[in-house]
Structure 1
Amino acid sequence: MASPIVIAHRGASGERPEHTLLSYQLAIEQGADFIEPDLVPTKDGVLVARHENEISGTTDIDAHPEFAARKTTKTIDGAPVTGWFTEDFTLAELKTLRAKERLPQLRPGNTRYDGQAEIPTFDEIIALAKKASRETGRTIGIYPETKHPSYFAAIGLPLEERLVAKLREAGWDRADAPVFIQSFEVANLKKLKGMTQVPLIQLMAASGGPADSAEPSYAAMVTPEGLRRIAEYAAGIGPERTMIVPATGPSTSLVADAHAAGLKVHPWTFRAENFFLLPAYRSTGGPADHGRLAEEIAVFIGLGVDGIFSDYPYIAVSARAASASPAHRK
């Protein structure tokens, strides 16, 4: 069995503000195989990396009085959201902002990097991955997620064409390119299937269902029949990790079922803080204290997953190496 890939979730986001070149660069230095940008568009149609199109939690936008009047409330995937949105700003305007730590209560150390990084474009992230590949001699891939694709299509800023165009410019629009494209929605992955040879990953959460209502629920999608349907358009699934190992009780058959359908399995997200860890791997202390993340990851590697999304790439890389050692295999 091949060793699982390590995907730097929003970069090394446990140690630097997420979706910044600081975070991606550190992830590469820590040995990640892929860096993950969540993609949203600007008003002028440029793809940038933010976890959400609402940016008050990840930038200093509220310190810019010139943009105060653009604060608004929108309905995103059926829920009201208040703040400032990337699609209401040009790239030039967004470049005047600076990134900040999204989880300061859990990651107070990261706040010392607040104000040091811009919002990066997809072009800049591709350039970083290519430069790092040349300098390190190992291939650094990208693993973009299309955020709220049906919402952006509805307002005239569809993501798919822009994403595929950038991959073509990079020479990465082929089946063996160091790229995966992921989405929680279904229709846009099916659309992308007809636009690119890059492998696609169907994301899924432990509850709810796709925002585009293309399937009744994620629970229905992980049945053997649901997985066979996914295999018609995607190369793998990205399930929430508790769909494989619940907080209590035995592990599920999802990895084996997905493999039987010919799908790769890349669970998310492995984080070191007690707040996020499965109960069995928490340490004594508070929510921000670190527990035994390497042990948790080792369990999933033992179950045969094909990839690991982690905010702490160096821990995932170390856990993978330990799992591959002869002593571990005895």
Structure 2
Amino acid sequence: MKKRAFLPLSLALSVSLATGVTSDKRVAAKEADPQSALQPIASSVVTIAHRGASGYAPEHTKAAYEMALQMKADFVELDLHMTKDGHLVAIHDSSLARTTNAEEVFPNRSPWLVKDFTLAEIKRLDAGSWFKKAYPEHAKKQYEGQKILTLEEAIHFIGKKNKHAKLYIETKAPDVYPGMEEKLVQILKKTGYLKKDKVMLQSFSEDSLKILQKIAPKDIPLIQLYSPGMLKGKNLKNELNKAAEYAEGVGPDKALVTPTFMQEAHRSHLLVHPYTVNTKEEMAEELSLGVDGMFTNFPDELLSLKKKPYISHGVASGEITSTSAVLWTRANKPSAILFEVAEDPSFKKSIKKIAGASRQHDFTAQVKVDRLHPDTTYYYRAAALPGSFSATGSFKTAPAENTEKPLTIVWGGDTGGQGNIPPFKSFSAMADLHPDFFLFSGDTIYADNPTPAVPNAPSKTMEDFWAKYKENRTDPNLRKLLQSTSTYAIWDDHEVSNDFSGPSNPLTSTGYKAFKDYWPIQKERSDSEKLYYKYSWGNTLDLIILNNRGYRDPNTKQDGPDKTMLGKEQLQWLKKELLHSDAKIKLVASSVPISTPTGKPNARDGWANGDHIDPNDKTGYEHEFKEISDFILKNKIKNVNFVTTDVHFADMIEYDPDHNGTVDYRELVSGPIGAVTIQPPKLDSTFGPKRLYAEGGFFNFGVLKADPKNGQMTVQIRDENGKIHYEGKFSIS
């Protein structure tokens, strides 16, 4: 077993020596947030120059190594193969074909494997000229004629250029090269690099690492590399626990790095160094997940990103009207955020706004942009000054008043519950439909469920609530959706705690503040914790957003004329908006269902009492919903659709509360995006529901398409891959 103790303090000693930092700093870094697994366990995030600065110069050549050192990378990576006559050489591929002119010099020796050539033969090859054709933007004359280096030559060159340089060496295909581990250790010892603060050794081969474990000093850090295929179908926790027996860390393909991966790796006290991270967007994503370092072809890009404030969790737009939008982003530290908005992606003529990202709001920032044109696509970007990295997005403004335009929206909720955490495939499928906006219908986080961000749930502090939002924003699929369209976000119970009633829950204000910090919300909706508002998309659709949490009486209270979910003021507002709406579609966003009994016995959480479950349990909110229902019927308000999630299955319901054979309103239900899946139960019959479709047991989202010209509304339920499970067409004439 490796002499890397299993306690955090012992890990601190070994890791700090490997990365050149003190154990005191390492411990301080770990104790900064003892809850979250989504933070480095090392005291600093290291930059590993992948094959040297291989984005700028031919990989594994003197030019690439020297450039990596000039850029002050923490480590220079070397890949090793062995020649026919037993020399270790620095090259990534097992074949010479891609990065040399071997085919030209030795035309009859296909497939030009390193193991089939002597060192003298390999030294005849040009290992630099190929770069001009592959990367012409970075090509230089001096790259032509670069040579493949032996391990000793590479070490001497790197050490001569910088005596403090550290190496990160991989044994490639060790099963092809028996004895390469012994040769590697001999050369490192001979050159003075067989020291814990000079080298880290890595391999995809567990066997190779275990050989190195036996023959190298016990304090030399070993790193187990993983491709996606190596972990497919395996128990992640078991695999990482096994790696922890001999390795100090893991080097996963960047696609493997998720909150779950980070949690299991850091629980096993393993460093996480993903490969190969080459764009600033990807670098910011990996940093948001709490990696301890990363391999990159562009070490200067990572180093410059880390030195200055940067946008850490993407951007979002929301609360769209025909002339305004709210823009959101988050930086990694205090900074001034520059927002730019333009009608063209080049930003030649842009609106500029500055907002401060402060610790008080977890470094999130929002601005409202006015005087926009209706029915227009806008591009925007945000940068944390003085940093130069920008995160970009786009949105479309609502049509002008009294106009009717086709419209596509997506909706869903229930994200991050019961162990279902990022990534969420549904968000990518939503983005692929290019919707006009996304309605996030509640349970945008599960503050009361344990996840890597808050393992010791429920969330209690503001930092816990913020951590939950950041965790979901590590999902590239969610960022893809948020950056491609606008969002209207509503809260439900899990933004605070299960089935909470706002006025009586001591965490309401904390959950509300975190919700407001992490979603683009207009002051008109957020002031005084209001959260209800109406948005119009011309005369096609009025989106009426309810606040089903902030004003409600306790769920345990007996239903009756004096029990409220919405509060008197919001209820009267809802009636007024329904009555005055001349839109083809009235879409009422309610975070709880009408006829599916939710909550607990004698503490119903939705509108329904659930008479069919227990006729003596009168703890729903049916009196209040009956007032809404009667108002719709009395005033003959047409095309009212209540849209919700919350119940963790899909449902399409038509209502005929007066039993006259006419559909008076509908309920459109989707979900979950990422939470436990449930089978549809029997509906409460109070308001005359008729099921058109119901399906559970799968992740799903809803799509609504309005075609006012043809007087038609189409509603779909799609699974996380975008496949349609239900489609209904309804008249909106």
Q: Same fold (TM over 0.5)?
A: yes
The list of structure 1 runs, each at least 4 consecutive aligned residues, that deviate by more than 6 angstroms after superposition, is: none
Instruction: State yes or no: 1:235 paired with 2:248.
Output: yes
Instruction: State yes or no: 1:89 paired with 2:117.
Output: yes
Larger radius of gyration: 2
Query: Equivalent pairs: percent with the same residue?
Result: 36
SS in 1 for 2:115: helix
Structure 2 Cα separation of the partners of residues 54 and 303 of structure 1 = 35
Offset, 1:101: 6.1
Residue type of the alignment partner of 1:161: E
Say whether the 8 Å CA contact 2:48–2:75 is kept in structure 1. yes
Q: 1:102 to 1:254 in 2, by over 3 A?
A: farther
Structure 1 Cα separation of the partners of residues 107 and 76 of structure 2 = 33
**Which residue among 270, 284, 302 is the counterpart of 1:263?**
270
Structure 1: gaps spanning 5 or more residues: 73-82, 210-217, 245-250, 272-292
SS in 2 for 1:59: coil
How many residues align structurally? 272
Give the superposed CA RMSD.
2.2
Offset, 1:94: 1.1
Say whether the 8 Å CA contact 2:47–2:303 is kept in structure 1. yes
Instruction: State yes or no: 1:122 paired with 2:151.
Output: yes
Q: 1:119 to 1:204 in 2, by over 3 A?
A: same
Say whether the 8 Å CA contact 2:132–2:140 is kept in structure 1. no
Instruction: State yes or no: 1:140 paired with 2:162.
Output: no
The residue aligned with 1:201 is 223
Q: 1:222 to 1:34 in 2, by over 3 A?
A: farther
Structure 2 Cα separation of the partners of residues 140 and 150 of structure 1 = 29
**Which residue among 170, 183, 188 is the counterpart of 2:208?**
188
SS in 1 for 2:125: coil
310-319 or 103-112, which deviates more: 103-112
Q: 1:300 to 1:42 in 2, by over 3 A?
A: same
Bigger relative contact order, structure 1 or 2 (CA pairs below 8 A, ≥6 apart): 1
Structure 1 Cα separation of the partners of residues 234 and 168 of structure 2 = 22
The residue aligned with 2:283 is 297
Q: 1:102 to 1:149 in 2, by over 3 A?
A: farther
* Greater strand fraction, Structure 1 or Structure 2: 2
Say whether the 8 Å CA contact 1:295–1:319 is kept in structure 2. no
* Greater helix fraction, Structure 1 or Structure 2: 1
- Structure 2-normalised TM-score? 0.36
Structure 1 Cα separation of the partners of residues 74 and 267 of structure 2 = 25
Residue type of the alignment partner of 2:107: A
Say whether the 8 Å CA contact 1:204–1:239 is kept in structure 2. yes
Alignment of 1:27-46 (within 5 A): 27-46=68-87
Say whether the 8 Å CA contact 2:99–2:128 is kept in structure 1. yes
Structure 2 Cα separation of the partners of residues 317 and 179 of structure 1 = 20
Q: 1:4 to 1:323 in 2, by over 3 A?
A: farther
Offset, 1:121: 1.2
Structure 2 Cα separation of the partners of residues 119 and 144 of structure 1 = 16
* Residues 106-141 of structure 1: CA deviation (Å, up to 9, x unaligned): 62234545523100111122112322333xxxx311
The residue aligned with 2:577 is none
Structure 1 Cα separation of the partners of residues 168 and 296 of structure 2 = 13
Offset, 1:299: 2.4
Q: 1:124 to 1:220 in 2, by over 3 A?
A: farther
Structure 2 Cα separation of the partners of residues 97 and 130 of structure 1 = 24
Say whether the 8 Å CA contact 2:129–2:145 is kept in structure 1. no
Q: 1:221 to 1:37 in 2, by over 3 A?
A: farther
Q: 1:266 to 1:180 in 2, by over 3 A?
A: same
SS in 1 for 2:232: helix
- Structure 1-normalised TM-score? 0.76
Offset, 1:46: 1.0
18-27 or 115-124, which deviates more: 115-124
Offset, 1:180: 0.9
* Residues 287-318 of structure 1: CA deviation (Å, up to 9, x unaligned): xxxxxx22321221232211110000100111
Say whether the 8 Å CA contact 1:133–1:140 is kept in structure 2. yes
Structure 2: gaps spanning 5 or more residues: 1-28, 30-42, 311-331, 336-358, 364-733
Instruction: State yes or no: 1:15 paired with 2:56.
Output: yes
The residue aligned with 1:284 is none
Residue type of the alignment partner of 2:127: A
The residue aligned with 2:188 is 167
Say whether the 8 Å CA contact 1:3–1:320 is kept in structure 2. no
* Residues 16-56 of structure 1: CA deviation (Å, up to 9, x unaligned): 11111101101111121111111001122111111112101
